[in-house]
Amino acid sequence: MAKVPVSVETLREQFGPHLNYAPPGGWKDESIHPAEKLVKTHCCFCGQQCGIQLKVRENRVIGFEPWEEFPFNHGMLCPKGVKRYLQGNHPDRLLSPLMRSERGFRPATWDEALDFTVGRIREIQQKHGKDAIAIYGGASLSTEKSYLMGKFARVALGTRHIDYNGRLCMVSAGTAYKLAFGIDRSPIPWSEIPKAEVLFVIGANIGDCAPITTDYVWRCRDNGGRLIVADPRMTPITRNADLYLPLRPGTDLALLMGVLHVILRDGLEDREFISKYTTGFETVAESARQWDLGKAAEMTGVPPEAIEKAARWIGKSKRVILMHARGLEHQSKGVENCLALVNIALATGNIGREGAGPTMITGQGNGQGGREHGQKCDQLPGQRSLTDPAAREYIAGVWGIQPEELPQPGYTAEEIMEAIHRGEIKGLLSTCFNPLVSLPDANFTREALSKLEFFGVIDFFLSETAHHADVVLAGSLHEEEDGLGCSAEGRVIHWQKSIDPPGDARRDSDIIIDLAHRLGRGQYFPFKNPADILEELRIASRGGVADYYGITYERVDKQMGIFWPCPSLDHPGTPRLFVDGKFYTHDGKAHFNVTEWRPSGDPISDDYPLFLTTGRVVSQYLSGTQTRRIGALVDQYPEPRAEIHPRLAERHGIKDGDWVTVTTRRDDLTIQAMVVKTIRPDTVFIPYHWAGTRSANRLTHRTLDPRSKIPEFKVSACRIAKANAPDPSPDDRGPHLNHALRGGA
Amino acid sequence: MINFDFIERRESITSAAYVCWHCDEPTCAQVCPADAIKKGEDGIVHSSLKPRCIACNNCVLACPFGIPKMMEPEQQMMKCDMCYDRTSVGKRPMCATVCPSQALAYVRPEQIAHRREKPTNTFYFGKQKITTKVYMMAPAEREAVALDVVDYMWEEEHELAATRE
C-alpha cells in the first residue's frame, strides 16, 4: 500500500525542499574557472520557452547568459528563467533509484528497481487486467518523451489509461479549437500581437504567468493598440489597460455572450467572412439574442456600458487579438467559454489575417508539443484521434502492431485518480506530475494514492506525491537530454542537451525504453537516442494535423524554431494558420458552436458566500517541485497568501498579514491575508504552488468540464474568518527563511 | 543591486524597479568621507573602491534614490554599476537584457521615442535638483486613474441605487 513510509518531516530532512542559493563552486569560482561552453537551449519552465544559454563546466550547469538572438524573447527572461540553473547540482537531486523501506527510502541499483517495477506491473496486470495499470505523463517532457510515453502505455503495457498534467492546463482551449478549426494550436505567432488594434485579454494573468508576453502587449499599446483586460483581479498588465472588466469568477461566458450580442445588435459582424468561411452562424446568432446588456451585466458584475464599449472596440477594429489562458479554461464550462471567444473572432472575421485571431496562451513548458503526439488518453501521434479507424491503422503500421492491439481511449488525469480511489486502477507509473499538489481536492488525492497497490515514480526530485511511491526512478532534467519542445506560439524548438544526468540518474527516455525491454516488448523500442525517437515521430505524425515530418534538430537550430505543420523537409513551417481561408475541419470551414450556460459545480450559498479562485505568482511554477527549491525564487514569495479586498477584510476584522481561515465544502486552510484593492470584494485568491497545510488544492473541487475534463480550479465557493497563527506544523512548513515576507502580484 | 518593490501594494499593482540613476553630480560620492566612490568618464558611478571604503554608510543614507547597499560580509558599499563587466564589452546590462516587459531598457533615445511614455532625467528632492544619466519614462499626459476594483464594478452603482429606493 502506497502510504507515506515515515513522517513527512523525516522525508523533508532528507529530500527537501531545501533552498539552493549558489551555483556549484559558489559565486567566486566562476572568475577563476570560467565556463567551458555556452549551450543554446530554452528555459525549463513555462510555455513561453524563452531562449537561454546555459554556462557549463565539468558536466555541471554553473550559470546562464541571455540568448539575445533568439527571436521570441531576445534575451528577456523572468525570475524563474534567471534562476533556473540553480536546480542542477541541487542537494535534493535524486542520484540513484530509491526503494521504499521501513525507514523511508533506500538507494537501489537500477536492476533491482526496474525488475521490481516490471514484476509489480506484471502481477497486477495478470490479476486485474491490463487496464489496472495507469500512466501519468507531463507537459514538461520533451515531445520525444511524450511520444514515447504514449507508445509505452499502448504497446508495452497495453493499458487504456494514459493521461498527463496538461489535462490541468490546455485541454479546454484545445477541445474548443478542434471543434471550431479542427486544430489545437494558437493560430498566430506572437510577433503579430504588436500589430493588433485591440487586444482583448480574458482570464490570463500575463504578467505573472507569461511574463515575456508583457513586452508584446506593451509594444501593441506603443503602436496605438487598445488593451482590454477582463479578470476578477487587477493583474499586473491591468495597470496599462484602456478598459478593465472586473468580472465575477465563473461568468466569462456571460461576458463573452454580452459582447457578441452587442456586435450583432449593432451590425458589426463581418457578413462576407461569415458566409465564405464558416458554418453555424445563424444558430449562434439566435442564441446570442437573449444575452442583452442587462443580463450580461447582472451575471458578470461588469457595467453594461463597459461591456458595450468592449464590444464596439472589437466590432469596429480591423485587427483584434483575443487572448485567453487558464482563467477562461479552468471552469466546468471551460470549453464553452473558449468557444464563445472563438465565436466573437469568427463573427468579426478576426482570423487568418495579420494581427488578428483568438489566441490561447499555453501554460506549461511543452504544453503544446506534449499534447500533440499521443500522451493524451484519446490521442495518437500527429493530433490524430484514437477512435479514428484510419488513424489507428496508420499508427499501428508505423509501430508494427495490429490496429486491434491498440487500446481504446482511457480515463483523463482526474478520472484516473478517481478510478484509483474506487479500486479500479491498482497501479500507477507517474513521471513529471505532482498530482498531490496540482489536482483538485488534495485530501481525496492523498486517499487515492494510499490505496495504490503499486506506485512507481520517475523524477529528479522527490515530490510530495513521490512520498507515496514504492519505487522512485531517478530521471533527468530538461538540460540532460536532447529533445524538441513546442512553445505557446506553435514554434517547435530544440532543447539542447547541456550535460549528462549526475550520479546514477538516467535519461527519462532510457528508463522508459529499459522498462519496455524488461516487459518483453523491446523490439518495438529499438531507440538508442532521442534522435531515433524523433525519426519515428516524424513518420508517425506525417499526414496528421500536427505534421512534424519536415522537422529535424538541424533545421530547428538553423531557423531558430519551426512552426508546425511542417510536412516536408523543404517546407518553411506555418507561423500563421488559415491564411488561405482553409480550416482543418472535415468541410474546410470554421465552425461556430452554440454555447450553453451552466452554473459552477461548487455554487456560492449562504454558508459559502465568496468565490475562491487560484492561480500563480511570477516566481513560482506549477506544483513548485522545482521552484520551491531555488532560494531567490522562494524569497520573492515565500508563502501562499489569501488576497482579499479591504472591504471584505474590514467586515471580518482582518488586517494585512493577519491569519485567515478559508473554508470550502472540502476543507479549510489557514494562511496570512494580503489586503489589496486589486481584487473583487466577493473573491478570495490563493496561489496553488505549495503542499500540505499550505496547499490551495485542499479547497478546490473535482467538478470537470464534461468535454475537456479540466477541473474547475478557478471557481469554488468559500467563506473566511479571522484566525490565530497556527502552531508551526513541522511536517510541511517551508524551509526556515531569514527574509521578511514580501507582497507578490 | 536593483530596488524593486510595489509602490503601495494595498492600493494598486503598480511596481517600480530602480537601477542606479547615475547622477551627473552623484550625492553618494559627494558625501563619501573616504573618497571611495568614483564616476567614470562615461558617466557610470561605480561601487565603492574596496581599499578605500570604510563602510560608514554615509552614501546609503544620503542617496535620494536609496540605491547604495552596505554589503555586510564584505564591509563595502556596492551598487549598480550598470553591469560594467558587460557594458564595457558592448553588452547590455543584465537587468535590461532580461526584463520581460522592457520596462528597463538599455537603448538610444531614438529607439524609445515611439513609446507612449516620455523620458525625463530631472528630479527634485526638496531643494535638491538632480539630473541623471539614466532616464525615467513618465506618463505623457497625466490623468486620474481609479485603482480600486470596486470603482469598475456594476454592483456598486446598483447597490447604491437600491439603497436610495
The reply to whether residue A246 touches residue B116, judged by beta carbons under 8 angstroms, is no
Compute the mean pLDDT over every residue in chain B, rounded to the nearest whole number: 87
Residue of A nearest to B16 (CA): A236
> A679: which chain B residues are within 8 Å (Cβ-Cβ)?
149
Q: Would the pLDDT of A71 be above 50?
A: yes
* b/e sequence B125-134, b meaning 16+ C-beta within 10 Å: eeeeebebbb
Decide if pLDDT at A280 tops 90.
Answer: yes
What is the per-residue pLDDT for A740?
A: 31
Minimal Cβ distance to A76: which of B100, B150, B157:
B100
- Among the listed ranges A135-144, B26-35, B123-132, which one has the minimum average pLDDT value? B123-132
- Distance in Å, alpha carbon of B127 to nearest chain A alpha carbon: 31
| B105 chain-A contacts, CB cut-off 8 A | none
Q: B165: pLDDT confidence band, cut at 50, 70 and 90?
A: very low
Which residue of chain B comes nearest to A77, CA vs CA?
B98
pLDDT digits 0-9 by tens, A411-432: 999 999 999 999 999 999 999 9
pLDDT at A741 over 60: no
| A169-189: average pLDDT | 97
- Is residue A640 left, alpha or beta, with left meaning phi > 0 and alpha meaning psi from -120 to 50? beta
What is the interface size between A and B, counted as CB pairs within 8 Å?
102
Nearest CA in chain B to A232: B149
Pick the residue from chain B with its C-alpha nearest to A69: B97
- Give the mean model confidence (pLDDT) for residues A502-516: 98
* CB contacts, 8 Å: A244 with chain B: 152
- CB contacts of B13 in chain A (<8 Å) are 234-236, 238-239, 678, 745
Q: Per residue in A535-584, pLDDT tens?
A: 999 999 999 999 999 999 999 999 999 999 999 999 999 999 999 999 99
DSSP A535: H
- The 10s digit of each residue's pLDDT in B48-102 is 999 999 999 999 999 998 999 999 888 999 999 999 999 999 999 999 999 999 9
Q: Percentage of residues in chain A with pLDDT exceeding 70?
A: 98
Q: Do A215 and B100 touch (CB under 8 A)?
A: yes
Q: How far is CA A22 from CA A148, A233, A631, B1, B97, in A?
A: 35, 35, 9, 17, 21
- Residue-level pLDDT at A309: 98
Contact A361, A47 (CB under 8 A): yes
Residue A211 has pLDDT above 70, yes or no: yes
Is residue B97 within 8 angstroms of chain A, CB to CB?
yes
Separation between Cα atoms, residue A531 and residue A539, nearest integer Å: 13
Shortest Cα distance, chain B CAs vs residue A77, angstroms? 5
Give the best residue of B99, B151, B154 to mutate against chain A (max A CB count within 10 A).
B154
Q: What pLDDT, on a 0 to 100 scale, did the predictor assign at position A146?
A: 98
Tell if the CB–CB gap between A235 and B13 is shorter than 8 Å.
yes
The span from the CA of A184 to the CA of A177, in Å, is 5
Q: Per DSSP, what are the bridge partners of residue A320?
A: A198
User: Does A301 contact chain B (CB < 8 Å)?
Assistant: yes
- Asked whether the beta carbons of residue A214 and residue B157 sit closer than 8 angstroms, the reply is no
CB contact under 8 A, A676 and B150: no
> A645 to chain B, minimum CA–CA distance in Å?
9
**CA neighbours closer than 13 Å in the CB half-sphere of residue A672:** 13
Q: What is the pLDDT of residues A85-112, one digit of tens each?
A: 999 889 999 999 999 998 899 999 999 9
CA-nearest residue to A215 within chain B is: B101
**B98 vs A81: CB contact, 8 Å cut-off?**
yes
- Which residue's entry shows cell 554608510? B57
Strand partners, A324: A202, A360
Whole-angstrom Cα distance, residue A212 to residue B102? 9
Q: Check residue B117 and give its pLDDT.
A: 85
Q: Are A242 and B149 in contact (CB under 8 A)?
A: no
Closest residue to B14, CB basis, from A215, A239, A743: A239
Q: What is the pLDDT of residue A301?
A: 97
Which residues of chain B neighbour A222 with C-beta distances below 8 Å?
114-116
Q: Which of residues 211-240 of A touch B (CB under 8 A)?
A: 211-212, 214-215, 218, 221-223, 232-236, 238-239
pLDDT of amino acid B119: 85
Name the 3-class secondary structure at B18.
strand
Pairing of strands A454-459, A427-431: parallel
Hey, is the C-beta of A36 within 8 angstroms of any chain B C-beta?
Answer: no
Judge whether B94 is closer than 8 Å to chain A, CB to CB. yes
Residues 123-152 of B with CB under 8 A from A: 147-150, 152
**What are the start-end ranges of the E strands in A434-525?**
454-459, 471-474, 483-486, 491-495
Q: Is A246 on the interface with B (CB under 8 A)?
A: yes
Q: What is the pLDDT of residue B143?
A: 53
More confident residue, A683 or A740: A683
Neighbours of A286 (CB within 10 A): 11
DSSP A71-128: TTTTT---HHHHHGGGGTT-TT---S-EEEETTEEEE--HHHHHHHHHHHHHHHHHHH
Quick one: pLDDT at residue B163?
Answer: 52
What confidence score (pLDDT) does residue A320 get?
98
Asked if B150 and A302 come within 8 Å (Cβ–Cβ), the reply is no
Q: How far apart are CA A398 and CA A374, in angstroms?
A: 14
Say which of B98, B101, B115 has its CB closest to residue A75. B98
- Residues in chain B closer than 8 A to A677 (CB atoms): 10-12, 147-150
* Contact of A745 with A207, CB cutoff 8 Å: yes
pLDDT the model gives residue B109: 79
All cell numbers assigned to B69: 547597499
Interface touch B154/A300, C-beta < 8 Å: yes
Q: Kindly state the average pLDDT of the residues A30-49.
A: 93
Which residue, A337, A407, A340, A343, is CA-closest to A379? A407
Task: Give residue A6's pLDDT band: very low, low, confident or very high (50, 70, 90).
Answer: confident
Cβ neighbors of A378 (< 8 A, separation 6 or more) are A385, A386, A387, A409
Chosen for mutation from B6, B13, B115 (greatest number of chain A CBs closer than 10 Å) is: B13
Average pLDDT on B1-14 reads 81
Chain B residues in contact with A647 by the CB 8 A cut-off are 150
E strand segments, A362-497: 379-380, 384-385, 427-431, 454-459, 471-474, 483-486, 491-495
- Is A692 an 8 Å CB contact of chain B? no
Look at residues A194, A197, A223 and name the one whose alpha carbon lies nearest to residue B116: A223
Partner-chain contact B6 A302, CB within 8 Å: no
Put simply, whether B154 touches A (Cβ < 8 Å) is yes
| DSSP notation for A284-300 | HHHHHTT--HHHHHHHH
Whether residue B50 lies within 8 A of chain A, CB to CB, comes out as no
Which tens digit of pLDDT belongs to each residue from A480-508? 999 999 999 999 999 999 999 999 999 99
Helix or strand run (H / E) with residue A304: helix A304-316
C-alpha cell at A495: 532543447
Distance CA A455, CA A453 (A): 7
Q: Residue B161 — very low, low, confident or very high, per pLDDT cuts 50/70/90? A: low
Residues of chain B with Cβ-Cβ distance to A218 below 8 Å are: 101-103
Query: Is B6 at the interface with chain A, CB within 8 A?
Result: yes
pLDDT of the residue at B3: 74
Confidence band for A745, pLDDT divided at 50, 70 and 90: very low
Q: Tell me if B24 sits within 8 A of B41, measured CB to CB.
A: no
Q: What is the pLDDT of residue B74?
A: 87
* Mean of the per-residue pLDDT values of chain A: 95
**For position A731, what pLDDT does the model report?**
47
pTM assigned to the model: 0.94
DSSP assignment of B62-90: H-TT---EEETTTTEEE---S-HHHHTTT
d(CA A189, CA A359): 9
Question: Would you say residue B136 has pLDDT above 90?
Answer: no
Which residues of chain A neighbour B99 with C-beta distances below 8 Å?
76
Q: Kindly determine whether residue B116 and residue A645, on different chains, have CB atoms separated by under 8 Å.
A: no
Cβ–Cβ below 8 Å for A306 and B6: no
A735 class by beta-carbon count within 10 Å (0-12 exposed, 13-18 middle, 19+ buried)? middle
What pLDDT score does A736 carry? 39
